[in-house]
Amino acid sequence: MGIELRGITKTYGDFSLSVDLRVEDAEILALVGPSGCGKTTVLNIIAGLTEPDEGEIIVNGNIVNAVSPWKRNISVVFQDLSLFPHLNVGSNIAYGPFIHGIPKNERLALVKEKLALVGLEGYEKRPVYTLSGGERQRAAIARALAASPDALLLDEPFSSLDAPLRRRLRLEFLDIRRGKGGNDPSPPTPSKTRCPCIFVTHDREEAAVIAGRIALMKDGRILETGAAREIFQKPKTPFGAGFFGRGSVLPCGLFIPKDAVSLNSNTVDSNTVDSNTVPLRAVVHSSVFEGDRIAVEFEVPLPGRTKGAILSAELSGRAEPPVPGNEVTVHIRRDLVYMLTPPNPA
């Protein structure tokens, strides 16, 4: 039945949170935004670790405001994982079922099942301190799922890992959500791994990979929500356009996506320079090689202004990098340019 926040408010000193949010059953929602915008506070309110000033918290169709945290049947995976260091891996995973009064033989079966799901078969007796970062993360996810939660909350769970491991664990997490993981060759099967999930992250790429839908927060408010592709490629607000870094916003509120900007023969798509494009004279502001692409900024003149507008573009990493300071012609695709929604007046 999902997670729903209705009219939730919370004030800490000068910070004020006001959120309405719904996450459908089996859905993964990525909650993103700058540090201090209230993402973790939202998770803590759902989990019962923070009491809201107003509003209703609804999980699986039930209002849980008055329910103690340990009775809400919500699993949380924090950034620091919080595995119990004095317990081995198996005992960590069995802790939730133990609290819920699951008999010992069923707990042992659950531990074995969840370890297999996360690719840690045979790790029951391993001390926590012997695990690598990736193994600890898998164990933390297994522990969260062993409680058969009604909701799963993850707060920056992969942020402490190196980039290649983060990318691998994202895909493994999606396999786990589909009920398939470890070395299990059988087809994915729906299970309690499909409970509604909120995944907090600062990583824009991670949000796009993990979530079917993204909610963008700023200053305690959710500014916009949408499918990952939609919110990346067609943000609704100036802040969203800047946060996801997918283009440039002119002073008038016109949004020019990166893939709408091409440079002479160094186009992102060779078919973009046609009657649908507008040529503009510009000066190369910066050019940075980033491996598989070249991130370029161009300055184009604005009527009546001493400083021009900066347009961002991405060229193929195999292209000849433009030289900063050189004058060039850039081409803007008309069909990809649109006006953003202005911010609400304070």
Q: What are phi and psi of 99, to 5 degrees?
A: -60, -35
**307 and 170, same domain (yes or no):** no
DSSP E strands in the chain: the ranges are 3-12, 15-23, 28-32, 54-59, 62-63, 74-77, 151-155, 197-200, 213-218, 221-227, 247-249, 254-257, 261-263, 277-289, 293-300, 309-316, 327-333, 338-339
Classify residue 110: in a domain, yes or no.
Answer: yes
- DSSP code of 113? H
CA distance 148 to 187: 20
Nearest in space to 173 (alpha carbons), one of 122, 118, 94, 112: 118
**258 and 227, same domain (yes or no):** no
**57 and 22, same domain (yes or no):** yes
pLDDT of 276-320, one tens digit each?
899 999 999 999 999 999 999 999 998 888 889 999 999 999 988
pLDDT of 92-138, one tens digit each?
999 989 988 899 999 999 999 999 989 899 999 999 999 998 899 88
Average pLDDT of every residue of the chain: 89
Classify residue 224: in a domain, yes or no.
Answer: yes
Instruction: Residue 316: give its domain's CATH number.
Output: 2.40.50.140
Helix (H) or strand (E) holding 177: helix 163-177
Cα angle: 24, vertex 18, 1; to 5 degrees: 15
Classify residue 311: in a domain, yes or no.
Answer: yes
Res. 20: pLDDT tops 70:
yes
pLDDT value at residue 44: 97
> For the residues of 266-296, what is the DSSP string, one character each?
B-SSTT-SSTTEEEEEEEEEEEEE-SSEEEE
pLDDT value at residue 66: 97
**195 and 317, same domain (yes or no):** no
3-state secondary structure of 83: coil
What percentage of the chain reaches a pLDDT higher than 90? 70
**283 and 181, same domain (yes or no):** no
Nearest in space to 284 (alpha carbons), one of 295, 266, 299, 268: 299
Q: Which of 177, 208, 233 is the last residue of a domain?
A: 233
Which comes out higher in pLDDT, residue 191 or 159? 159
Q: Which of 193, 208, 233 is the last residue of a domain?
A: 233
Classify residue 26: in a domain, yes or no.
Answer: yes
**288 and 200, same domain (yes or no):** no
**116 and 196, same domain (yes or no):** yes
**127 and 276, same domain (yes or no):** no
Classify residue 241: in a domain, yes or no.
Answer: no
Q: Across-strand partners of 63?
A: 58
Q: What are phi and psi of 160, to 5 degrees?
A: -85, 0
**208 and 60, same domain (yes or no):** yes
Classify residue 122: in a domain, yes or no.
Answer: yes
Instruction: Residue 218: give its domain's CATH number.
Output: 3.40.50.300
Structural domain count, the chain: 2
**253 confidence band (pLDDT: 50, 70, 90):** very high
Question: How many Cβ atoms sit within 10 Å of the Cβ of residue 185?
Answer: 6
Classify residue 329: in a domain, yes or no.
Answer: yes
What are the Cα distances from residue 167, in Å, to 119, 159, 229?
A: 16, 11, 18
Classify residue 39: in a domain, yes or no.
Answer: yes
DSSP E strands in 48-172: the ranges are 54-59, 62-63, 74-77, 151-155
**114 and 215, same domain (yes or no):** yes
Give the residue numbers spanning the domain of 279. 248-338
**297 and 181, same domain (yes or no):** no
Q: Which of 168, 199, 233 is the last residue of a domain?
A: 233
Which comes out higher in pLDDT, residue 168 or 18? 18
**158 and 77, same domain (yes or no):** yes
pLDDT value at residue 90: 96
